[in-house]
Structure 1
């Protein structure tokens, strides 16, 4: 601004250029009072849901109701940890049976709700691909994954080389360990001068939004090609999740290797690993002091925190964390009450140095779901059965002697003897299937106690005459079957009880077919599932099995193989019958885990084990399986030991040189040794869990989970938001979401679907199956769609579309319902604590920027109780009078109140961000220097050219990753801010409850 010839002149920055105007050329802008947009209570609820859908907050979990699974609280612990970590990388080291695959699915849905997760790579053992475990589990989250074979993987690598990114049609892929070899990593010579490029040569490398590695302990050897491939994918991934139940003793080197692969910037070498663990001992002591709550507890905790600060990790990392200082300072104030102690315990738990890297949920942490009551049902062979069984064993021994050393022969002979112990009447069809080549790979895997059995029956021609003679003998057996009679009696006895449901297992499909005939004859309603039954049929059988026994289509007993019940839970059933038993204790645990699990409605579950004396199975059962306690309580934490037990059971039982007495003695010795080892492992696990800060109390976790639930993201709120969107977008002439229960019908005519299709095309493009299905319906000619917002209903109704947070309908709703300007509302609520009257309030959206971006809704009111409890009050509203809305000056006063609060918050945020960034840069720089020194040393010592290529590539990736992280941290320092936007102005009329 300047003056010339007595008139003021203004320089104005306009349309990207500077212009000069005299004052007489300018006209004052008179802002007319804008018309207020007033929302009634349903529209307000929809807006609050839309805001939280569009801008996820770190304080809430978004994976609730996101899959066709039962709600199991502890399965959200890994999700909770991942979103609060400084980097989205986590080792899920939960025990077997806790549900690691489900937890990975929840993590995927959480990340999808927060960002545009398009590409996901699952790396796992080949048997899990052959059994379609990951494919089927991800379908429960409405996710479609395609398994890669050698041809498809080579195609993806070539496409990445040519286009610079992984092909979109394989953006959600499953990679088996078995495909990783030298040709994959380093390339290979093709025909002529052609050459297949190697994975490590790709530039740019494939970048996945999420990499999941199952059975991650397989990468513990850093010199293997598998380790190098996994590390390569992880180094270029946005988020990484490792799944492994194996690191039982958490102090072993395996854990260091896994964490070093996950976070090489943090866990550089064994020394840094040990340094990181050091503060956990005084942290544990501080928590114990808090829990005891004796006089002077606060001073003792301060002493423990001083010990923490004296460790290397405490001095360099923890003590400069604002949270650490906040705990220390708070202990010097009035810290005498119980609430202060509880808050201190929760704050101390957040200091555990490994808690953001590892999730370890043990069965005993969750608590016993129920009491197991095992019972042995002994049934003797008849004389004819006994003679046939013994003759059968003689034939098996002759075949083994003749073809000694052939692994496939041993597997087949073991299978035959186990089928005979299970049911002699199922033996003939099994042998015929073997001879005729009708035993498919999935059925062979069901028969095996191993997870990676390679079956080859080429040797059968050499023993076909013996096999055919056995078939003839078996077919002439025509006697009563005491074992089948005992089984039917157990089932019939159960039918007279209020809960008549029975889950029965057999390893053998032909035994199951035999039992079907017996149940048919007895008039018992049954269902049959095994690996060959389609997913839809399994879901339908589960639904019928759950029905009350007085309904005509109900099933009373479900017969199943091992694979048949994978992914299905039966908390409503309290009776299990093992018609025969696997030799693998983990398979037994998985069977029992189908009913002994979270949500079991009975205080006890009955486990009936049918055993026939004189069989090898009976020896294994009595002398080994019963004694290690697998039927009495969950022993999933000892998976590695149970694997050793399985191998030794096979070794003892398949040795044709041992007498019956020698075999029995060896089995007893095996049980004695392994029982002691299991006890030692459990003691060590307890100590290591404390050292690494993983033994969190259940009450603390339950509180955190409840705090992470958002009322505005529950199924009822989502339904309100969707309905509001449809009504406002398509008109109020009709209802679009029909039904008062969880299962609803979405009914929209062709014209309405065309309007929704317009909104759908405004969303970011996605190859997700839910997007494709939604677009197909919008373009189709069917006006109705069965939908639900509730995951429990989705489990029971597999054909219904689950409208989870990431579904395009809700994304369209969130986008449409956003308000560009501040909206107004007048509401009424009854509350006994707040004095009656009218209370103006405001709701602001705060976008925190810095090291991590987060958004929150902030309530402001002149009355403290209204401000503190506004969002709870908004849950139980009635419409208020629009005439009660005050003039804008009242809201301007609230804005001034908010401004003071915002200034305080932004100063605290900037300082906290500065300290966090400084500490992170210091830690990252030290870590990188140590890692670079380590890799350069390994490169110098490399024994061959291929290892040198791997180490050189790893060093280059480390340098690039370090530079990228430093730039990102510098940007976080520059952009630390809180952007505040007024979203809602309103008045709350408070009345006394009548």
Structure 2
């Protein structure tokens, strides 16, 4: 056997084994990946149960991370059916579909008609229709009809999720913008819950801040892993030690002279918590960590090991992954400005009349009115655009105003008929005043015109203008048309068929007749959409929530932004409450200068305090200013402190920190590298086209002419091997076929879609070549390599594939040599070797390699079983602790129940909870029962090492 054939066989082993412990998603798409984007993939495939929340900041690349998960699971034969659930704008704009195309994936959008058909087919046949097994579904379709088959309580002739209980199944479910389902009472949550129950693997994604102690986070984590986080009490108990573990990690990362002492102290506090006593106290990793910390002279390597161990102890590290902008560096330099305009006399008169009306409505104190929502809405609209007040007031009095168009921070409200009558006359008067300003001079609009005009001198003249208010957007749209500006509008009310066209036109170069130069948008209109081709945003009004400001800026300050700087223009009107809040609070937080990190809880508290102060009718203007200043003085320092800690890395939800590059390196294999993939495909083509050589190598595109006969053979081989390759087979039809192949991502990315085949571990040609190169019997080979890693000589090396079995299986290569130095660099020697005319491995050398391997295998098997047992015992302890707490809570409710019906219900609940926990305990024990380390002999080779 030649060196090329051996290398191909080793690559084939990893490519074809679904339990390979190495990453298969490298080079899986036409995207320039960053190492941190593999963190969710690694966490998911290494988890006992593949379910994860990706809570990365805006712009980090959550969609790419989800696509990598799809490709990785596909390579492991675990993603034949995939459902993506996302907001409607991402369906209309085809963001998900286009992103997936970069990974050679063709997903279909499900509209209401197609969804109904799929449901009916599943009910009839017991399986989701094959042609829609990779699909994208909008939240807007998750309604009562889908859930129960009813509408307004009336039964319809339609299959529902309730009907499909037990029939529905997906290999992978991806739920984007998961904060949409943080309310259990909504039909969207209940529909997603059914899909989660029907899915083997689940990925949820959300950049919207979810506070650590909030009900929202518990709701999502519980939906993901109800076996791990059974109720709110469990959630809080699990969360408690993480604060201490966080502090231990900060101490270890600091490298201070007493870092080990401080880390030990914080670890001790973590162990004293309830979860610590029940679970951490029996975790062997704690003992390993304490031994390391108690070393009298730990070095930097010990410190790095300590950090990794501490982070693995985090109770949520298994199910939450988080990458922050600050963790990976800033994408651009932000250049904020805050030009100030003055009200005209007429505008000022209307503004103060609005404030007076708001105060009188709020003073009515009707339980039907959210005072904070009403006042903040009026104040912010007045500061945004006086001209938008007339229609806003009309909406208020016709009960058409909904919080979803505003900030989603308050509930909907309605005025009673009596209140409408009481305030209508005064409101009408303000409406008339506001309507009278239409067409009059507007200093704020004039300033916006100047910003747009100045920007038009740049080669990139695109400007993204944000306003919270639809009425302001409508007003600005009319003004832009009047000024001859090519403008587009994006908000929640824009029709689906228009969204894609508008965004496409905004992306067009200014030279195009169809181009849009200015986009007017609300937060709702841009949710999940990327505008990194634009480098200037204008905040025509300023959200009072700093994280909403960050989400606006994150639309352009994100991965893929070509400009070194992005401009952020905040237009303020002197004398407004908005201007006070900006000057005294928002500008000091730093959101306009850099990406905010893990201060969500503090920022949420600041936002609530800002609203309280701004809507407090008891405060004078001077008192309000003083209160805002005091808030800033007290809280900004907390933000700065939190961000300082964040620079030292992890958070309460678990974080891999700077170790992710090391994790990716450990999960990568030389036998899945670009070079080895290219050699594997080259060998396949040379086998079916004898005498023809193919130059597939990094940095170039290989042109491979294929005759009709060879093309037919490839297609037949793909079918015989059960490899799906619809796009490739379409290319193989015709008379003059030339395949263009490369392993170079940059070359593939520059070409039009589908022009070049990007060869990676999941590509059909690579899988086909792997099946052609697979061998069943142990190989024998003689190799030669030039190296200074070991002394010159001939060295026998045994190659084995070890599979660690347990709750999940994982295959790795193990290279064996009786020479320790050779064994340590065996992969390097083998991967760089060529064929040699040399003797074979002798019988004695076979025996020596077998003996060495047997000793290593027995030791590794024992260690693996110990670790699996310890891991299982830790999980069993957690389940027993959760079971005891749950049953105790139900027993307390039973003891206090006065009514017999309630007692009966509680007894049933207790029996159900006990049975559920017993099933989980049984499943965990059965996983331990199959723990083993199996081995397969791949090859024995002789390597002749020659000195350089």
Q: Quickly name the TM-score band, shorter chain normalised.
A: 0.7 to 0.9
Q: Deviations over 1:56-77 (max 9, x none)?
A: 5675333333344442333333
| Aligned equivalent of 1:631 | 592
Please name the residue that 2:729 is paired with. 775
Picking from 227, 231, 250, the partner of 1:265 is: 227
CA distance in 2, matches of 1:276, 1:410: 40
The alignment status of 1:868 with 2:824, answered yes or no, reads: yes
Match of 2:849 among 889, 894, 897: 894
Indicate the structure (1 or 2) with the bigger Cα radius of gyration: 1
> Partner residue of 1:835?
791
Return the alpha-carbon distance in structure 2 between the equivalents of residues 237 and 513 of structure 1.
48
- Equivalent position SS for 1:199: coil
Is 1:71 the counterpart of 2:71 in the alignment?
A: no
* CA distance, structure 1, for counterparts of residue 20 and residue 278 of structure 2: 26
Q: In 1, distance between residues paired with 2:315 and 2:442? A: 67
- Distance in 2 of aligned mates of 1:831 and 1:568: 49
**Structure 1 residue 847, shift from structure 2 partner:** 1.7
1:182–1:477 CA distance, 2 compared to 1 (3 A)? closer
Report the equivalent of 2:862. Answer: 907
TM-superposition CA deviations, 1:196-235 (whole Å, max 9, x none): 5653453424222222334434544555555444334333
Deviations 1:274-322 (A, max 9, x none): 4434544664565456456678977887787677666554454345444
Provide the secondary structure at the position in 2 that maps to 1:78: helix
1:354 to partner: Cα distance: 1.9
Is structure 2 residue 690 aligned with structure 1 residue 731? Answer: yes
SS at match of 1:855: strand
Q: Secondary structure at the match of 1:364?
A: helix
Shift of 1:937: 9.6
- The residue aligned with 1:718 is 677
How many Å separate the matches in 1 of 2:711 and 2:173? 36
Does residue 934 of structure 2 align to residue 979 of structure 1? yes
- CA shift for structure 1 position 612: 8.2
Change (3 A) 1:131 1:95: same
Identify unmatched segments of 5+ residues in structure 2.
359-367, 392-401, 413-429, 468-472
Q: Given the alignment of the two structures, is residue 799 of structure 1 paired with residue 753 of structure 2, yes or no?
A: yes
Structure 1 residues 853-906: Cα deviation after superposition (integer angstroms, max 9, x where no partner)? 11000111222122112223445x253522254445434432222122112222
Please state whether the residue corresponding to 2:199 is helix, strand or coil.
Answer: coil
Which whole-Å CA distance do the structure 1 matches of 2:27 and 2:502 have between them? 24
- Tell me the alpha carbon deviations over residues 783-837 of structure 1, each in whole angstroms, 9 at most, x when there is no partner: 2455654555555445135544333222222222222223344444443342222
Q: Check whether the contact 2:85–2:137 (CA below 8 A) recurs between aligned residues.
A: yes
| Residue number in structure 2 paired with 1:749 | 707
Q: Distance between the aligned counterparts of 1:485 and 1:299, measured in 2?
A: 61
Deviations 1:746-770 (A, max 9, x none): 643322221111221134476xxxx
State the match for 1:814 in structure 2. 770
SS where residue 37 of structure 2 aligns? helix
Q: Which residue of 1 aligns with 2:299?
A: 337
Q: How far apart are the structure 2 equivalents of 1:299 and 1:646? A: 38
Structure 2 CA distance for partners of 1:272 and 1:623, relative to 1, 3 Å? closer
Is the Cα contact below 8 Å between 2:212 and 2:652 reproduced in 1? no
For 1:701, the equivalent position in structure 2 comes to 660
Three-state SS of the structure 2 residue aligned to 1:722 is: helix
Contact 2:599 2:642 in 1 (8 A): no
The answer to whether the Cα contact below 8 Å between 2:531 and 2:556 also exists between their aligned partners in 1 is yes
TM-score normalised by the chain length of structure 2: 0.74
Report the number of matched residues.
Answer: 905
Does the 8 Å contact 1:121/1:211 carry over to 2?
Answer: yes
For residues 166 and 752 of structure 1, do their structure 2 counterparts lie closer, same or farther at Cα, with a shift above 3 Å needed?
same
**Cα distance in 1 between the residues matched to 2:70 and 2:767:** 17
Partner of 2:937, secondary structure, is strand
Cα deviation digits, residues 576-595 of structure 1 (max 9, x gap): 35385665866653453355
Partners of 1:66 and 1:805 within 8 A in 2: yes
Deviation at 1:567, TM superposition (A): 5.1
* Distance change >3 Å, CA 561–CA 803, structure 1 → 2: farther
Q: Structure 1's 884 and 722: CA in aligned 2 closer, same or farther, altered over 3 A? A: same
Of 813, 823, 827, 2:779 maps to 823
Shift of 1:846: 1.0
**Is the Cα–Cα contact under 8 Å of residues 826 and 881 in structure 1 kept in the other structure?**
yes
In structure 2, the partner of 1:162 is 124
CA contact (8 A) 1:53 1:811 kept: yes
Task: Answer whether contact 2:248 2:267 (CA < 8 A) is retained.
Answer: yes
2:717 aligned residue (729, 740, 759): 759
The aligned residue for residue 399 of structure 2 is: none
Distance 1:506 1:970 in 2: 56
> CA RMSD of the aligned region, Å?
6.2
Q: Secondary structure at the match of 1:882?
A: coil
Cα distance in structure 2, aligned partners of 1:942 and 1:741? 78
1:673–1:652 CA distance, 2 compared to 1 (3 A): closer
The answer on whether the counterparts of 1:335 and 1:341 sit within 8 Å (CA) in structure 2 is no
Q: Deviations over 1:145-178 (max 9, x none)?
A: 4454555444444333332233333333444445
> Of 572, 592, 603, which residue of structure 1 is paired with 2:553?
592
- Counterpart Cα distance in 2 of 1:509 and 1:937: 57
- Say if 2:188 is the partner of 1:208: no
Q: 1:744 and 1:752 mapped to 2: Cα distance?
A: 17
Is 254-263 or 290-299 further displaced after alignment? 290-299
In the alignment, the residues of structure 2 paired with residue 340 and residue 380 of structure 1 have an alpha-carbon distance, to the nearest angstrom, of 61
> Equivalent residue for 2:536?
576
Unpaired stretches in structure 1, ≥5 consecutive residues: 1-36, 432-443, 455-465, 546-551
1:39 aligns with 2:9: no
Name the structure 2 match of 1:55: 17
Pairing 1:451-530 to 2, within 5 Å after superposition: 483=447, 486-487=450-451, 490-491=454-455, 505=465
Specify whether residues 274 and 162 from structure 1 end up closer, same or farther in structure 2 by C-alpha distance, changes over 3 A only. Answer: same
SS of corresponding position for 1:982: strand
Q: Are residues 302 and 831 of structure 1, via their aligned partners in 2, closer, same or farther at CA, if it must alter by over 3 Å?
A: farther
Distance 1:795 1:506, change over 3 A: farther
User: Does residue 1:92 correspond to 2:48, yes or no?
Assistant: no
Q: 1:184 to 1:957 in 2, by over 3 A?
A: farther
Q: State the Cα distance separating 1:250 from its structure 2 match.
A: 1.0
**Deviation larger for 613-622 or 593-602:** 613-622
User: 1:919-934 alignment to 2 at 5 Å?
Assistant: 919-921=874-876, 923-924=878-879, 927=882
* CA spacing shift, 1:534–1:330, aligned 2, 3 Å: same
TM-score, normalised via structure 1 length: 0.71
* Contact in 1 for aligned 2:649/2:657 (Cα 8 Å): no
Are the counterparts in 2 of residues 69 and 791 from structure 1 also a CA contact under 8 Å?
Answer: yes
Identify which of 785, 792, 810 aligns with 1:854. Answer: 810
**Closer/same/farther in 2, CA of residues 279 and 417 from structure 1, 3 Å limit:** closer
Give CA deviations for 1:541-595 in whole Å, capped at 9, x if unaligned. 97989xxxxxx99x9997555568965474x98x535385665866653453355
The separation in 2 between residues aligned to 1:934 and 1:764, in whole angstroms, is 53
1:360 Cα deviation after fit: 3.1
How far is the alpha carbon of 1:845 from its aligned partner?
1.0
Cα distance in 2, alignment partners of residues 982 and 541 from structure 1 = 59
- State the match for 2:279 in structure 1: 317
Task: Verify the 8 A CA contact 1:505 1:577 in the aligned structure 2.
Answer: yes
- Other structure's SS at 1:632 match: coil
Change in Cα spacing, 1:315 to 1:474, as seen in structure 2 (3 Å) is closer
